[in-house]
Every structure is written in C-alpha cells, then in structure tokens.
Amino acid sequence: MITSCQQPSASKSEAPLKPKKPAPSPISPKAEKKPSKKMIPLTNENLVEELTKYGNENRETLVVMKTPKGTMKIQLYENTPLHRANFIRLIKNGFYKGTEFYRVINNFMIQGGDSDGFERQYVKQKMGTYTLPAEFRKENIHKKGALSMAREYENNPEKRSVAFEFFIIQGTRYTAGELLGAEQQYHLFISPVHQEIYKTQGGTPHLDGQHTVFGQVIEGLEVIDSLAAVTVDEGNWPIEKMSIDLEIRD
C-alpha cells in the first residue's frame, strides 16, 4: 500500500510515501505500556463513536516530539477532533515507540509514524484497521511546521487519512507569481492572509484541501530544517536513523 500526495510538476514539492522497508527497531508487546482500559480496535464502522468518546476523555492538545536533531512542541488543533483523538490515542498506547522519520525531502517535508516491518504488525492489529474521515478546515493550512496526515490517492474520493502516518511541513517561501501559478495549476483559492503566510513563513499550498492538517509546531521550527537537511538514500530514507519520541504534556 502506498500513501502519498499528488506530485506537482514544479520542483517545489514531491509526494510523501509509505516506507518500503521496515524500521530497524523492533517493538514487542511486553515493551509497551498497557492502557488503563481494555483497548477496542478501531474500524471504519466504530471509529467516529470511539474516537469521539476517547477525545472527550482525553483532552490534551500539547505534544513534545524529541528527535536526534532537537525537540519540537506541537499544538494539536481542537477543530480536527478525530485526528487529535487518534494521535493522542496512538501516543498513549505506545504506537510510535521505535518509529522514525523514513522519508525526508529537503524544502518539502519530513514523514514518519509507521513501517512495514513484521514487528509492527502486533501493534497495528491492537490499534485497529481503519482510515480517518477528512477534517479539512480553511484556517488549517500547510504552512511551515504544519502537522498533517498522509492518505491514499487511489480509490479514495473522500480523501480519508491513513491511521498512523504523519508528516511535518518544511516547504519553501513563495513569491506572488508562484502563488498565482499554484492557484491556476491546482485550482486553489489562496486568501490574501494565507498568501502572506506562504510568502513570509513558507509551506506547501498545493496540499491544502488534500490532506488534513491537525496540528502546528509552535516551538522548534529550526529542528525541521535540521531534519530535512540530513543525508538520505535514493528512496529519501535518512542514512542515519532519525528516531521519534513523542510525549504528551497537556
């Protein structure tokens, strides 16, 4: 299975993809912290009810992400309640332990959160087999530091997100002419406010309305630049392991 964004013809960006080789750090059931309540695996049929309930019981919105290049603080958006609850649920149940950034493209994004490794199958089975309904909000854009969810492009007219894989935007700064070109090429309307953000902060506007943005890096934007600059192989996998350690703060 491949999860991606449509690749534009311009050199500004490429497509986040699912890893094609397993992350090297195995995770065993014994290594995980057991949740206080019995875990109900999610399905497309029960996830709205279960995640709504979980979100009401777990209201945290601040996450700290530690990496070999530094630490980032991420504010999760309350206006994307299913994605927020899903992310908190995964963190609290140890899903992201042992994961890493497996696809890094400088001036575009850093992606992680899953692997195809055999050792991950137990953890995935425990979480469930599901996709998330899109939660597009006009105010949530793919500016630098945006936390967004990957998705399938084939046979996915509702643009539902995958369950586990996320990416963080680095992007580039755009000129007025480049933004006009992006609007025409991708049939977008970029508001004057958002145009100013893309000019001054940077980002990837062609992903707006294509992937659900559910959080924003509020401290440590420079860490994104450091991670995006690492040496990668021909598949954009970092040569040196870029591990992910997630903690919930509030």
| pLDDT tens, position by position, 74-128 | 999 999 999 999 999 999 999 999 899 999 999 999 999 987 777 778 889 899 9
Predicted TM-score (pTM) of this structure: 0.87
Count of beta carbons in the 10 Å neighbourhood of residue 93? 17
Is the per-residue pLDDT at 31 higher than 50? no
Domain boundaries, the chain: 43-167+209-248
| C-alpha–C-alpha distance, residues 170 and 126, integer Å | 32
Q: pLDDT tens across 180-233, in order? A: 999 999 999 999 999 999 999 999 999 999 999 999 999 999 999 999 999 999
Token pair recorded at residue 193: 């406010």
By CB atoms closer than 10 A (0-12, 13-18, 19+), residue 33 is exposed
Cβ neighbour number for residue 209 with a 10 Å cutoff: 17
* 121-142 pLDDT per residue, tens: 888 989 999 999 999 999 999 9
- Bin 159: left if φ > 0, else alpha if -120 < ψ < 50, else beta: left
**Higher-confidence position of 5 and 209:** 209
Strand order in the sheet with 62-67: 101-105, 109-112, 161-169, 146-151, 213-219, 70-76, 62-67, 245-248
CATH number of the 43-167+209-248 domain: 2.40.100.10
Q: Residue 144: name the closest of 195, 200, 220, 203 by CA.
A: 203
Lookup: tokens for 130: 């599901």
Alpha-carbon distances of 73 from 211, 224, 250, rounded to whole Å: 21, 11, 11
